[in-house]
């Protein structure tokens, strides 16, 4: 492996490609050939995210969400709170989580974790009542 790599937005896999109304969620991990770090960029249009849907947690992945722009609503287990620009939120492996953009403008996030190996990235979902729609 080279001592560095560079990836553009178009090279990063978009997990939201099938759902363009929900913005973009691009994983740079594979495009950069990362061995140890998972790095994801997410763009959330207004009124998009997890409300009215399920929550999830990862088998062995603690995650850090960093809000670049906008305000994002978080639901972690039974707690709901907002995080604005330049705020970081750490979520442990055992906590169910979901994010939503209630605001009038786009929200932009970075999500980082240790890169999972094997089934470590497996996620467990809650039922659809995790975060009821308003």
Number of structural domains (the chain) is: 1
Mean pLDDT computed over every residue of the chain: 91
What length does the chain have? 134
Q: Is the pLDDT of residue 119 over 70?
A: no
The pLDDT of 50-76, averaged and rounded, is 92
Q: Quick one: CA dihedral 23, 68, 76, 9, positive or negative?
A: positive
Query: Would residue 91 count as lying in a domain?
Result: yes
pTM for this predicted structure: 0.91
98's CB contacts (< 8 A; 6+ apart) are: 49, 50, 51, 53, 54, 55, 56, 74, 75, 130, 131
Q: Is the pLDDT of residue 120 over 80?
A: no
Query: Would residue 114 count as lying in a domain?
Result: yes
Query: Would residue 19 count as lying in a domain?
Result: yes
The pLDDT of 62-72, averaged and rounded, is 97
Domain that holds residue 112: 12-125
Query: Would residue 130 count as lying in a domain?
Result: no
Which two three-digit tokens encode residue 12?
A: 């990063």
Question: Using the 8-state DSSP alphabet, how is residue 104 labeled?
Answer: S
User: What is the CATH number for 29?
Assistant: 2.60.120.10
Q: Is 50 helix (H, G, I), strand (E, B) or coil?
A: coil
| Spacing of C-alpha 34 from chain mean position | 18
């Amino acid at each position: 492996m080279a001592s560095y790599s560079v990836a553009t937005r178009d090279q990063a896999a978009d997990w939201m490609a099938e759902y363009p109304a929900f913005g973009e969620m691009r994983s740079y991990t594979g495009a950069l050939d990362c061995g140890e770090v998972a790095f994801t960029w997410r763009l959330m249009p207004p009124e998009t995210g997890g409300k009215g849907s399920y929550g999830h947690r990862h088998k062995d992945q603690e995650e850090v969400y960093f809000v670049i722009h906008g305000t994002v609503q978080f639901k972690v287990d039974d707690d709901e709170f907002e995080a604005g620009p330049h705020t970081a939120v750490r979520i442990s492996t055992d906590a169910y989580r979901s994010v939503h953009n209630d605001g009038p403008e786009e929200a932009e996030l970075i999500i980082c974790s240790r890169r999972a190996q094997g089934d470590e990235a497996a996620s467990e979902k809650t039922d659809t009542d995790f975060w009821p729609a308003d």
